[in-house]
A and B are shown apart, each in its own frame.
Chain A
Amino acid sequence: NAGVTQTPKFQVLKTGQSMTLQCAQDMNHNSMYWYRQDPGMGLRLIYYSASEGTTDKGEVPNGYNVSRLNKREFSLRLESAAPSQTSVYFCASSEAGRGGSPLHFGNGTRLTVT
Chain B
Amino acid sequence: LAKTTQPISMDSYEGQEVNITCSHNNIATNDYITWYQQFPSQGPRFIIQGYKTKVTNEVASLFIPADRKSSTLSLPRVSLSDTAVYYCLVYRFKTIFGAGTRLFVKA
Contact = CB atoms under 8 A, between A and B. Distances in A.
Contacts, number: 59
Interface residues on A, range: 20 to 34
A66 interface: no
A71 interface: no
Given A42-B87, A48-B95, A100 B49 contact: yes
Nearest to B44: A105
B43 A90 contact: yes
Interface string A36-77: 000001111100101000001011000000000000000000
A44 B96 CA distance: 7
Given A48-B95, A98-B91, A98-B93, A42 B100 contact: yes
Interface of A: 4, 33, 35, 41-45, 48, 50, 56, 58-59, 90, 92, 97-108
